[in-house]
Structure formats: structure tokens, C-alpha cells
Structure 1
Amino acid sequence: MLQLDLQYFAGEKTEKATPKKRQDTRKKGQVAKSQDVNTAIIMLFVFLSFLFLGGFLLDRSLAVFTTVFGEYMLWELTEASAFTLFLEFLQQFAWMIVPVMLVAFVAAVIGNYIQVGVLFAPESIKMKLEKLDPIKGAKRIFSWRALVELAKSFLKITLIGVVTFAVLWLQIDEVLQLSLTSLGDIVSTLGLLTLQMGLAGSVVLIVLAVFDYLYQRFDHEKNIRMSKQDLKDEYKNTEGDPLIKSRIKQRQREMATRRMMQEVPDADVVITNPTHFAIVLKYDEEKSDAPYVVAKGADFLAQKIKRIASENKIEMVENRPLARSLYESTEIGQPIPEEFFKAVAEILAYVYQTNNKTPRRNTK
């Protein structure tokens, strides 16, 4: 019984998603996103565009009506004239609709970018047969999420209806007097009322969209939670990934190289090839009975070692066979093999004599 309880808790999704899990779900197109945010931004941008495009759209509309009743009504209706009229109307309406559609498109891009940034997830648009399963479809319809969406829709309709009615009610006197005004004043008043109701509704929808986005984030975080077993499995898979292992090894090599370079300024001598190999030796009789290797490198690394040694005035001695042999037979931190004692001793004696030095002693 206890074992079953432990298995249950191990499978319960109580842990926050790891960065890898978030990245994997993002690749699948599963992100925290609210459609209400897109709708609210599009609606706001479109109605704001009417403030700048209103005059242009009115002039275009009047020009179309003037042309229709002043010229086209006098045309003889034939197949050719009907086709010409269709193309003309299509062009005129395109001039009026395309700017608004461009504004809506830009607003849609901004709305998506604010929420999810740049995201390309082709997997999310793949055809999946399980989406056609009627049982799963019924579960989605009668799920808790569907009830939440229904409540949200009811709240949006109610609030937007109340706000737009309030705008209309505040202008009720002007509305009742429309029958006594000219056609131009009627169009102007109706256009202004439409703009005011649209902007008011957009503001209400933006406020609701903010709360909906917070709910979508909460729901998304809950859905991508992981169990303790999921964390263990991910750790095993990550550690077993050859790419991850190679990166870890590369980072370890970089750290070892940095530590090795930090030891070069305290060395006694650098034995070079002179171009291909560089072996850095140090003798401290308190640490070792023989000189030991503090750094070594070949090619580019050898040149870097020589540069650091030169900057710190470390003696460099060229001995091609010795440098190559030491490079192949020694490891960093290890004393040199016994067969190299005599050759290295002669070099150290020369270095100490040249620089008036004595072997380092550890006084700690």
C-alpha cells in the first residue's frame, strides 16, 4: 500500500516545468496566449484608424455615390458595361478596405508578438486524426475550460453592450433630432457615435483581455507541470544526450585551460619545440622531489603559453626532442619521469644562474 502511495505521488504533476520542458512545449505551439488580447488590439487599432482615415473614407464613399447616380445610371445595361461596373466598384471598395485591413494585420502581428514573441511551430498545424474523435470533442465541449470560455463570452457581451448603450444614451438628444437634420449631419453624427462606441468597447475588451491573459498563463503553467518522475526522466535523457555531454566536456576543458594559464606566471621555465610544443615546469622541493608540469600545450595553445610566459618574463628554452618527449609522456600536475631528470636539471640550473634565482621553497 505504501509503495502504491509513493508511486502516486511520484506521478502527480506538482513541480514547475523545467526550461527544457518549456522549450519543447513552445516548439509544439503550446504557449500562454489569449485570443481576447488579439481581438482587443485589432478592434482598438481599427477604430483609431477611423480617426485618421475617416475623411478619406467619406470622400471615397461620396465619390462612389456621385459617380453611380451621376454617370452609371445613364449607362445602357449590357454584359460589357456590367463587367466594367463590377471592376470599377471592386477597385473603389479596395481603396477603402485595404488600408483598414492593413491596420488590422499590423495589430494582429503586434498582439501575437506581445504575448509569445517570434514563434514558428509547424507541428501545431499538422493534421491530427485524434482531433476528429467525437468522444474527445464531446469532452472538450463539456469540460471545465468550455464553461470558463462560456462565462467569459457572456461577460464580454454584457459589459460591451452596457458600455455601448451608455455611450448611445449620453447622446440620446442628438439621436432623437437626427430626423430634423440634413443627410450630411446624419452621416456625421452616426459616424461619430460609431467611433465612440467602438473605442469604448475596445477599452473594455482590453481590460478583460488582460485578466484573460493572466488566466491563460495560469492555466498553461498548470498544464505543463511535471511530476518528480518526469524530472528524473528528463535529467537522465539530458545527461545521455551526446550534444549536452560534448558541451559539458568543452566547458570543462575551457575551465582547465584557464586554470592552467593562471599557473604559468609562477613557473620556472618553459621548454619549447619552438613552434609546436610548450611545456611549463616548476620546481618546489616542499611539494615534489622533482620538477612537475604546471601547463603544456601544442600549436595554438603553445603559442598562448609562450605569450603569457613572455609577458611575465619566464625563461623559455628551446629543446625540440625534450619538449616533444615531455609533452607525450607527462600530464599536468605530475612530476617529470626519471629519465628526464638530468636534462631538466641542466636547464633549471642554467635558468637559475642566468636570473640569479634559487629553487622555490614553500614557506607555509
Structure 2
Amino acid sequence: MSEDSDQEKTEEPTSKRLEDARKKGQIPRSREFNTFVMLMTSAVLLLSLGRQMANGLLDIMRSQFQISRAVIFDPASPLIHLKQAMMDGLTLIAPFVAIMVVAAIIAPLALGGWVFSWTAIEPKFAKLNPLSGIARMFATHGLIELVKALLKVLLVFGIAILLGKHYLNNLLRLGDEPLGQAIGHALDIIGMSYLILCASLILVVMFDVPYQLWDYSKKLKMTLQEIKDEAKESEGSPEVKARQRRAQMSMAQNRMMAEVPNADVIITNPSHYAVALKYEQNSGGAPHLVAKGLDLIAAQIRSLAAGANIPMVASPPLARALYYSTEINKEIPKGLYLAVAQVLAYVYQLKIAKENHWDEPLPPGNIKVPDEFRQG
């Protein structure tokens, strides 16, 4: 694949790219959808609560605007009536406002979810550049916004003309109705007209939501090189991983060497291999290997063992067999039980001889290792 094709943003964004964009406040948003939800909610509330609010408004007018002569000349009365009128008005519109607040919170959650980012609200002085602003106006995004604005104007204007023609006679007859009935009837007409106008904006939403999702995905698409760089960054470069492996090996080796003074016996090659075994009689398990090494590490194991007075037994076949067949901190295989038992028996005899100042026993000279464990 050529270098040019590598630079084309043809790949879908990775989960890390999406998460980073979300942390920056970059999520799909449709202002048209949010506006549509708010307008439809207000229209439904106006139809369902309109008469109740109208009757409440009439009650406030009757109670607060019909004042007796004695009350008018009371200096404290205007303030009392004003306070009561405000409380009654707030109580009247409280359900409407509360539901609108809930709608304003829920609407953004439907597309992209809810996110808060300091990065998104940081001042960006580059946006104050008038040349950049003019360039944005004539960019694809600016043209799309212009099309949406024209579509909304034409749509709302056209629907408004049709509604005006439909309700013209009803509006003219409102003057023949009693005041209370006329107000209720007018609210019904206004509410239904408002609902139809708001519902017509679904056409704009049906255009805007898919576009916003497509535009969001397009902006976050990645090149093949970006995906490779992200994978390299997340997994670590080979040099870093090599250093980490060396550090881990060094720590493991240090832990292994710390166990050598606790071993019961060191079995050697005698120069190239060294394995340290420990057997806990009360554990009910088999002996386990606590350390092993080749060449320099084998020399370090022998040096530590000599400093801690750990017995060393030279048995090249058994040393090689244990080295290749047993991992550190694991029990020896069953096939080597007999050979290791010979070595441990010698170690215990040597310990008893030293405690009683007897002559040291001879080390085992014929340790048999099964053919399947022999190395070379």
C-alpha cells in the first residue's frame, strides 16, 4: 500500500479514539433535535395545561385587580397584593417549568449521552480570528447550516399560512363568545397550531440527526498510520518492552537468589549447572526447586550456598534433568523422586554426622536418572 493511501482517513475510529474525543467533549449533538424535543414538550404541555393555566390567570386577575377603596388607601396593601400575585403566578407555571427543565436535560442524552469536559469550555482565541470565521461560513458545515435554516423558514412559513386559512373563521368568531369561553377557545387554537408547527420540524430533524452522526464519525476516522501509532503507544515500543522484560527478569532473579540460603541442597554439574532444592517434611508434598541457573548464575548460586553452608552435591545428569524439567517454585516431577531422595538422604546423613562429630558420609556416586529426563 502506498504512503498516500496510508494517509487517507478510511478506518473507523478505535475505542481509545472515541474515549479521548468524549473526554474532550466531542460527542454527536443535534441542536435541531434538542430544539424539536423542547418545542414538542411545550406544545403538549400547552394543550394539556392551557385551560388550567388560563383559569388560574383569570382567578389571579379577579382576586388581585378588584381592590376595594379601603385597601387602596392602605400603604401596605400594594406590596401584599403584588407578593401574592407573584406567588400565585409562580405556583401556576411551576409544573410547566419543571417538565421543561426535565426535557432540556433528557433531550441531549438521547443522542451522544451526557458529558462534561473542561476542555470543551476552555476559551479558544483562534475562533476570534475573523478570517477563520469567514472560512467557516463558506465551508461545508456552514452551507449545511444555511440549508437547514432556509428549510426551517420555508417550512414554518408554509405551515403557518395553511393554519391561518384553516382557523381564520374560528378566530373571527371569538369576539361573539363570552370572555372566559373566548380565552379558552383561543388557547385551544393557539395550542393546536403551535403543536402542528412544532411537529413539522420533524422533517428538519430527520435530515439533521443522520448528518450529525455521519459528520461525527467522519471527523474521528483515522488513517492506517494513526492506528499503528496508537497501538504502538498503548502497547509500548519494543525498546520499552525490552527494558521492562529486563527489569522483570532482574527482579525475579533477585527473588530467586534470596531463596538460595533457605535451600536444603544444591545439585551441581559441577561447573555449568546449579539447582537449589528445598524439602519441607511436614508439608506432605514433594521437594520443590527454589533456584536454578547456568554458568554465571550457577556460580552465584554456588557462592551463596557456600556462604550459607548449604551442602552441594555434584551430579551432572540430575542437575541437567532438574534444570530443564522443573520451573522455579514448582515441585520436582515424579520421575525424579528416587534420584532426589538419594541426594536428600545423603544431606540428612551429613547433618547428623556433623552434629555428632562423626566422619562425613560419602556422597552418592550412582544416582540414576530416567532416560526421558536425560539432557545430552
What is the TM-score of this pair, normalised by structure 1?
0.64
Which one of the candidate residues 151, 155, 159 is aligned to 1:155?
A: 151
SS in 2 for 1:326: strand
Which residue pairs with 1:56 in the alignment?
52
2:287/2:331 contact within 8 Å kept: no
Query: What code does the residue aligned with 1:213 have?
Result: V
After superposition, the C-alpha distances for 1:190-210 in whole angstroms (9 at most, x for unaligned) are 101111112112222234213
SS in 1 for 2:12: coil
Q: d(CA) in 2 for partners of 1:163 and 1:27?
A: 41
Report 1:176-187 matches (<5 A): 176-187=172-183
Shift in Å, 1:49: 1.6
Query: What code does the residue aligned with 1:342 have?
Result: A
1:46 aligns with 2:19: no
Query: Relative CO higher for 1 or 2, CA cutoff 8 Å, sep ≥ 6?
Result: 1
Report 1:185-334 matches (<5 A): 185-240=181-236, 320=283, 323=286, 325-326=288-289, 330-331=326-327
1:29/1:124 contact within 8 Å kept: yes
Query: What code does the residue aligned with 1:146 have?
Result: G
Which one of the candidate residues 123, 126, 134 is aligned to 2:119?
A: 123
Q: d(CA) in 2 for partners of 1:322 and 1:183?
A: 100
1:342 aligns with 2:339: yes
Residue identity (%): 27
After superposition, the C-alpha distances for 1:71-100 in whole angstroms (9 at most, x for unaligned) are 278754887555444433322321233221
Q: Structure 1 337/104 Cα, relative in aligned 2: closer, same or farther at 3 Å?
A: same
1:174 aligns with 2:170: yes
- Which structure is larger by alpha-carbon Rg, 1 or 2? 2
2:288/2:331 contact within 8 Å kept: no
2:288/2:332 contact within 8 Å kept: no
Shift in Å, 1:48: 1.1
SS in 1 for 2:10: coil
SS in 2 for 1:29: coil
SS in 2 for 1:115: coil
1:102 aligns with 2:93: no
Query: What code does the residue aligned with 2:229 have?
Result: D
1:36/1:212 contact within 8 Å kept: yes
For structure 1, list consecutive stretches of 5 or more residues without a partner in the other structure: 250-316, 346-364
For structure 2, list consecutive stretches of 5 or more residues without a partner in the other structure: 246-279, 293-325, 343-376
How many residue pairs end up in the alignment?
272
Query: What code does the residue aligned with 2:187 have?
Result: G
